[in-house]
Structure 1
Amino acid sequence: MSAPAEPDTPPLPPGTEPAPGYEILAGLARTGWLDVYDAWSAERDCRCVIKVVRADRRGERRLGERLLREGRWLRDFTHPHLVRGYDVRTEPEPLVVLETLTGETLSHLLHRLRHRPSAADVALLGVQLCSAAHYLHGRDLLHLDLKPSNVVVERGLAKVLDLSVARPPGPAPAGVGTCCYLAPEQARGGPLTAAADVWGIGVTLFEAACGDLPFDCRATGGTAGRPYAGDEPGTGTGTGAPEDRCPPPERTAPPAGSRRRLPPVLAAAVDGCLRPDPAARPTVAALAAALEAVLPVPRRGR
């Protein structure tokens, strides 16, 4: 285990080789525990994305283990709506290599567009998110952080990112995920099921269709729309104080049709995802079937 570096260690500069065969081209993002880089793979002769634990957090072995776990999942998974993992390295430090996606995050796209996406586009997005969730659930994993900033879209193809807080169904601490997108049971803590991901899909579709979140997000401590406790993955509380945690939604979500005129089937599907009782939400399969009814051409049709 490496000794902790000094706080606020800067990201790696361009030209650095974090592992043999890889060269840093530029920094892309920094979270509370990760640095993400645009990089070059000599083996593949192409750009790639590299994720490493921040230098000032490398003394925390659990963070490296979580990164490696995510990387191994993405390297082994094969699905058109999940980002692809290329490589996982343990030396000299934990490092994960992912494909470079050339689209833009759904959150960026929604802010950039002058008009809201069509009902058919919203339904297609939902069907693709359901497809990814179905695949993960078949491997006994819940994503638990489905939101517009974790979806990259290019020419109608959506890909889901970030399995850093994914876990099997079952008990979980309060706050696993991102404030303002948490299902009530995620915010409270307790047993989690596939219904938590259905909620995440529902909030994402509501935001895409209506232009804003279904609830007033009253997160404290600057955590609105961000993972808890400085992006601590999957800890629920991390270093955050109780007052910094995101409270569960205090009321039922407004009908999506009250914010925008939508096909009744689409509006009902989104509303069903946001029922407070997990047992009352549709299954992923039922949600996908309802959304597919909005598409001009069925996925299995010509």
Structure 2
Amino acid sequence: MSVPAVRTAPPLAPGTRPVPGYEVLAHLARTGWLDVYDVWSEERDCRCVVKTVRPDHRDQEQMCDQLLREGRWLEAFTHPHLVRAYETFDSPVPLVVLETLTGETLSHLVHRLRRRLSAADVALLGVQLCSALHYLHGQGLLHLDLKPSNVVVDRGHAKVLDLSIARPPGPAPAGVGTFRCLAPEQARGGPLSAAADVWGIGITLYEVAAGDAPFGRGDSREVPPRGEEGDEPCDGSVTGGRDDRYPQVEGTAPPIGLRRRLPGRLAAAIDGCLQADPSSRPSVAELTAALDATLPGPGRRTACP
């Protein structure tokens, strides 16, 4: 007997007002649990971005809470390399209003450019990512999903997106994050520390420098956010759990030097981020100093901000 297909509500049409003061201009994207819109803010007299839980997932209370938590964090945080949130609404629909960013994601940039970024640009990007992660860690949070598609760059200025699976350091279920970007300890499950985000910086710089990720090429499966109770996925799907699904658990990352010739100190910094043992990776401050040392000119940074 065939099972009837589940009908998913279409995105909001242009002209719709999801909450007072905001008018939908266009639907930008639909993920496994979110809709993203280009909207007009009457109060600010400018365009903004709205993230909201998809209609077919709004009965998932933990998923809605996760989005609202992210919005409140981004409203409170102030950092030049983190996206800003303007407002968070819990009714009539769970919704977060974010600044509109110019530029493009690193994932788009890597595939658009005919030439790879220079070594200096890779190092400067790394310093900016370290700055954002240093700030987040100071707020008591790990990002846990740093990857090229979660970084927007405009004229050399990077901003980190998406705190949807961010959580404090400590125990976490297996497999939270994006399949090909997970640190080994994220894949296995267990205690997580700032070293997991150092891995994310390494994955991002590796892909930007080499044009491809070191693990799971072409595989960008993402895990929906998980609830706090029972550590189960909010939508009840089965994710994670078996180490042998993850190549980063089975083996080590190939040295960046096998994919591209880079200055020795920069290559060593990227390779250091991708050590299987979290204790063998540099701290964010050490990584900042190592990347900064590869930058030319007198304006180099010598310590984490």
Q: Matches of 1:23 and 1:191 in 2, distance apart?
A: 43
Name the residue aligned to 1:90. Answer: 90
Provide, for residues 93-116 of structure 1, a one-character-per-residue CA deviation record: whole Å limited to 9, x for no partner. Answer: 111000000110000000000011
The within-5 A match list for 1:15-30 is 15-30=15-30
Name the residue aligned to 1:14. Answer: 14
Q: Matches of 1:251 and 1:151 in 2, distance apart?
A: 27
Q: Quick check: 1:39–1:50 contact (8 Å CA) kept in 2? A: yes
- Distance change >3 Å, CA 69–CA 241, structure 1 → 2: closer
Q: Matches of 1:119 and 1:146 in 2, distance apart?
A: 20
RMSD: 1.8
Q: Quick check: 1:175–1:236 contact (8 Å CA) kept in 2? A: no
Q: What amino acid is aligned across from residue 19 of structure 1 in structure 2?
A: V
Name the residue aligned to 1:225. Answer: 220
Name the residue aligned to 1:187. Answer: 187
Q: Quick check: 1:142–1:193 contact (8 Å CA) kept in 2? A: yes
| Identity score, percent | 69
Name the residue aligned to 1:212. Answer: 212
Q: Quick check: 1:164–1:233 contact (8 Å CA) kept in 2? A: no
The within-5 A match list for 1:196-207 is 196-207=196-207
Q: Quick check: 1:174–1:236 contact (8 Å CA) kept in 2? A: no
Name the residue aligned to 2:81. Answer: 81
Give the superposition deviation at 1:247: 1.8
The within-5 A match list for 1:27-42 is 27-42=27-42
Provide, for residues 155-186 of structure 1, a one-character-per-residue CA deviation record: whole Å limited to 9, x for no partner. Answer: 00000000000000000000111010000000
Q: What amino acid is aligned across from residue 147 of structure 1 in structure 2?
A: K
- Distance change >3 Å, CA 30–CA 233, structure 1 → 2: farther
Name the residue aligned to 2:246. Answer: 247
Provide, for residues 123-171 of structure 1, a one-character-per-residue CA deviation record: whole Å limited to 9, x for no partner. Answer: 0110000000000000110000000000000000000000000000000
The within-5 A match list for 1:1-302 is 7-217=7-217, 224-228=219-223, 231-232=224-225, 237=233, 238-240=236-238, 246-249=245-248, 250-297=250-297, 298-300=299-301
Q: Matches of 1:139 and 1:117 in 2, distance apart?
A: 31
- Distance change >3 Å, CA 206–CA 276, structure 1 → 2: same
Give the superposition deviation at 1:225: 1.1
Q: Matches of 2:33 and 2:130 in 1, distance apart?
A: 29
Q: Matches of 1:296 and 1:39 in 2, distance apart?
A: 41
Number of residue pairs the alignment of both structures matches: 289
Runs of at least 5 residues in structure 2 that lack an aligned partner in the other structure: 1-5
Q: What amino acid is aligned across from residue 237 of structure 2 in structure 1?
A: T
Q: Quick check: 2:176–2:240 contact (8 Å CA) kept in 1? A: no
Q: What amino acid is aligned across from residue 215 of structure 2 in structure 1?
A: F
Q: Quick check: 1:51–1:96 contact (8 Å CA) kept in 2? A: yes
Name the residue aligned to 1:3. Answer: none
Q: Matches of 1:143 and 1:130 in 2, distance apart?
A: 12
- Distance change >3 Å, CA 208–CA 40, structure 1 → 2: same
Question: Aligned with 1:66: secondary structure?
Answer: helix
Question: Aligned with 2:120: secondary structure?
Answer: helix
Runs of at least 5 residues in structure 1 that lack an aligned partner in the other structure: 1-5, 219-223
Provide, for residues 182-201 of structure 1, a one-character-per-residue CA deviation record: whole Å limited to 9, x for no partner. Answer: 00000000000000000010
| Residues 206-215 or 172-181, more deviating | 206-215
Give the superposition deviation at 1:240: 2.4
Q: Quick check: 2:62–2:226 contact (8 Å CA) kept in 1? A: no
Q: Matches of 1:58 and 1:167 in 2, distance apart?
A: 22
Question: Aligned with 2:179: secondary structure?
Answer: coil
- Distance change >3 Å, CA 216–CA 9, structure 1 → 2: closer
Give the superposition deviation at 1:215: 2.5
Q: What amino acid is aligned across from residue 226 of structure 1 in structure 2?
A: R
Normalising by structure 1, what TM-score? 0.91
Question: Aligned with 2:196: secondary structure?
Answer: helix
Question: Aligned with 1:207: secondary structure?
Answer: helix
Structure 1 stretches of 4+ with a deviation exceeding 2 A read: 215-218, 231-238, 240-246, 297-301
